[in-house]
Chains A and B, each alone.
Chain A
Amino acid sequence: MINPFTHKYMNGREALGFAILAAIIFVLFPLVLEPFRLNLFGKYLTYAFVAVGLVLCWGVGGILSLGQGVFFGLGGYCMAMFLKLEASSPENTAIQSTPGIPDFMDWNQLTALPWWWEPFNSFAFTIFAVVAVPVVFAFVIGVAMFRRRVGGVYFAIITQAIAAILTILIIGQQGFTGGVNGITDLRTLHGWDIRTDEAKTTLYFVNGVLLFAVLFAAQFVRKSKLGRLLIAMRDQEDRVRFSGYDVANFKIFVFCLGAAFAAIGGAMFTLQVGFMSPSFVGIVPSIEMVIFAAVGGRLSILGAVYGTLLVNWAKTTFSESFPELWLLGLGALFIAVVMAFPNGLAGVWAEQVAPRLRKLWPGNAAAPENTPAE
């Protein structure tokens, strides 16, 4: 049978998967969830950006970054700086000793806006910076590490150290960054109040559209020659190198791409939640983002979205009612997903659920999907 949807970059089944996820995000959630919960799910979906990036870096490329929170945070902070400057107009901050600068700077006896805050008065620059700052940072790290063939666990430890350093720096430089509280009390985007329910619903849809753009980009990378090279690199790096490819360039590219995805997620997080703080930058959030991707299935970009939604929903539900159980559950989840389900939800689906569905549907005799093992 010739499937009209069969295409180089997406076969029929994958298109169906995208359609189902789109239906869930754009139809089901807005219909059944009240605005508060919808905003909560919008927040979860911002983490999905990071998880999709991790699927490309870690699942496909074999590069485990424990510092994705850095890029999420940088993207979020860029957006928060713009919103904070808009919220700190001289009229709004007339009671401060220096009107017109963000309140935390005033509290820390700063009398002028630091020079590197100035460009964030411009929205166009902010949009540019949201992606550019984390990508440049990732590029520097990537060039330094991958050119010298640092990989595997060393890369993981060093990215983790970078996450720790950035957190200490943000908390320590209270006057410039808002310290441990982060940048709070964000109000409007170009005069449009982002705190109302309608604004939050609109932002949820914007977020969903961006997420799908990212998902399509990830799908494109996976199905392209680059994606196949990444998998080859993950499994037999030396052979790829001896075949004449510059391995470092591919690694740098995919690491930067993951950083860009995370940064978009961070900026959308700031818009939807209304603040940004160092608690989304450090070691703990960064490693939790890895578990989102791992639960969804480290090789499945759609799985990453489901994994993120599931883990965060469980976190909210359990930590509301049984805070003690949550940490135990999260710890057990880390161990279980590594030891018993290395391919996560997507693996369970491909190995357990899909074959049974196929039996129920005798007409649909498609070949089983190849889910590469560990």
Chain B
Amino acid sequence: MFSDYSMSELTAIFAMQGFAGLILFSVFVLMALGLAIIFGQMGVINMAHGEFMILGAYVTYLLSNFFEAYLPALFSIYFFIAMALAFVVSGALGMFVEWAMIRHLYKRPLDTLLATWGLSLILQQVYRSVFGAREVGVTIPDWMIGSLPLTDMIEIPINGIFVMVLAVGISVAVYVMMYRSRWGQQVRAINNNRVMADAVGINTAWTDRMTFAIGCGVAGVAGSAFTMIGSTGPTAGQLYIVDTFLVVVFGGAGSLLGTIASAFSISQAQSILEFFLSGSMAKVLTLLTVVGILMLRPQGLFAMKLRK
């Protein structure tokens, strides 16, 4: 199959394919980071995670229209404001959901799963009623359009690079929050031993609420980033949910490094297989392998050693 191509063409194909894999990796990392906080640290199954991402995407869409109409001078930087706003809006909704629903269900994880699924259905219908059933896209600022010619045959789309930079930036931010801040210390303490954390004076109820809110906020930022590479529809969030959960579980819940490593291996496996097989078979094989490995090693790639 390779004999028709010259050597330089082959290099270009593999470089582009590898780069497509890297973009998919960034997307997976962005999707999984929020869930790694919520599911990995708190053990809460948030089936509405995809809908929190879509909320961020719709916030970006609204802001893009707003800047186009009223502040065209600042249009080139609207995206950064949109990301911040997406974080705040999704985080605020997350905080409300935790207060109204999740905190009553901490002892019943399976019921949380069903309740948040119900929440996801409601949010989908709200999006459909407000924004319509059709997918919407944002206007991308000029500097993000086009591609960077690396050699005369390899070109790299700028919005792809942007998403990758974002994924790295947000991963670093989450890492710093988790492992270098007082809040992160408290979250990890609660994850280790809730009763003990309570006893030494950590406000566990408040920390839980903040953790859930920050996880949802990160989801919102991820959704905002996705508008740069694709369009947004009311049910788009549901498409991500299985992949996202598998990435987090495969990496080992509670391990940020594991989440990133599993996002990398799943995305690379999928994009490499896509080169040889049809898209759906590549996905089936990747997911089957992940499920198979999880059956052999249920704790995931990087398991935290905990005494429960």
Contacts and interface: CB of A to CB of B under 8 A. Distances in A.
Given A153-B110, A327-B125, A158 B291 contact: yes
B245 interface: yes
A156 B295 contact: no
B117 A334 contact: yes
Contact of B117 (A169, A287, A342): A287
Interface stretch (B55-63, B163-171, B282-290): B282-290
Contact of B295 (A145, A332, A335): A145
Contacts of B117: 287, 334
Given A161-B291, A334-B117, A148 B298 contact: yes
Contacts of A171: 280
B246 interface: yes
Contact of A338 (B115, B238, B290): B115
Contact of B113 (A144, A148, A153, A324): A153
A330 interface: yes
A169 B110 CA distance: 27
Nearest to B279: A172
A335 B47 CA distance: 12
A164 B112 CA distance: 21
Given A331-B120, A334-B121, A342-B111, A158 B284 contact: no
Contact of A290 (B114, B245, B249, B281): B114
Contacts of A158: 249, 291, 294-295
Give the interface SS of chain A, mostly helix, strand, loop or mixed: helix
Contact of B45 (A148, A157, A324): A157
A66 B113 CA distance: 10
A331 B125 contact: yes
Interface in B93-146: 101, 104-105, 108-115, 117-126, 128-129
B298 A153 contact: no
Interface residues of A, number: 43
Nearest to A287: B117
Interface string A119-156: 00000000000000000000000001100111011101
Interface string A272-311: 0000000000011001001100100000000000000000
B304 interface: no
B122 to A, nearest CB: 4
Nearest to B300: A154
Question: Which of A58, A66, A164, A331 has the most C-beta atoms of chain B within 10 angstroms of its own C-beta?
Answer: A331
Contacts of A169: 280, 284
Contacts of B249: 154, 157-158
Contacts of B8: none
Given A162-B291, A290-B114, A331-B119, A157 B246 contact: yes
A149 B105 CA distance: 23
B13 interface: no
Interface string A73-116: 00000000000000000000000000000000000000000000
A338 B278 CA distance: 41
A64 B290 CA distance: 20
B79 to A, nearest CB: 31
B245 A161 contact: yes
Contacts of B108: 338, 374
B195 interface: no
B115 A334 contact: yes
Contact of B124 (A327, A333, A339): A327
Interface in B241-288: 241-242, 245-246, 249, 278, 280-281, 283-284, 287-288
B154 to A, nearest CB: 31
Contacts of A331: 118-123, 125
B114 A294 contact: yes
A168 B283 contact: yes
Interface string A328-366: 101111110111001000000000000000000000000
A98 to B, nearest CB: 23
B65 to A, nearest CB: 24
Nearest to B294: A158
A327 B296 CA distance: 38
Contacts of A328: 121-122, 125-126
A329 to B, nearest CB: 9
Given A64-B113, A153-B109, A339-B104, A332 B291 contact: no
A160 interface: yes
A210 interface: no
Contacts of A335: 101, 115, 118-119, 122
A172 B108 CA distance: 37
A157 B246 CA distance: 8
Contacts of A144: 295-296
B280 A154 contact: no
Contacts of B129: 324
Contacts of A339: 101, 104-105, 115
Contact of A327 (B122, B287, B295): B122
Given A158-B294, A339-B101, A374-B108, A332 B45 contact: no
Nearest to A374: B108
Interface in B232-246: 238, 241-242, 245-246
Contacts of A287: 114, 117
Contacts of B104: 339
A148 B288 contact: no
B114 A161 contact: no
15 contacts: A64-B110, A144-B296, A148-B296, A156-B45, A158-B249, A161-B287, A161-B290, A161-B291, A168-B280, A287-B117, A294-B114, A328-B125, A331-B119, A331-B122, A331-B123
Given A144-B295, A283-B241, A324-B125, 15 more contacts: A64-B113, A144-B296, A145-B295, A153-B45, A153-B109, A157-B45, A158-B249, A161-B242, A161-B246, A165-B288, A168-B287, A169-B280, A328-B126, A338-B108, A339-B104
Interface of A: 58, 64, 66, 144-145, 148-150, 152-154, 156-158, 160-162, 164-165, 168-169, 171-172, 283-284, 287, 290-291, 294, 324, 327-328, 330-335, 337-339, 342, 374
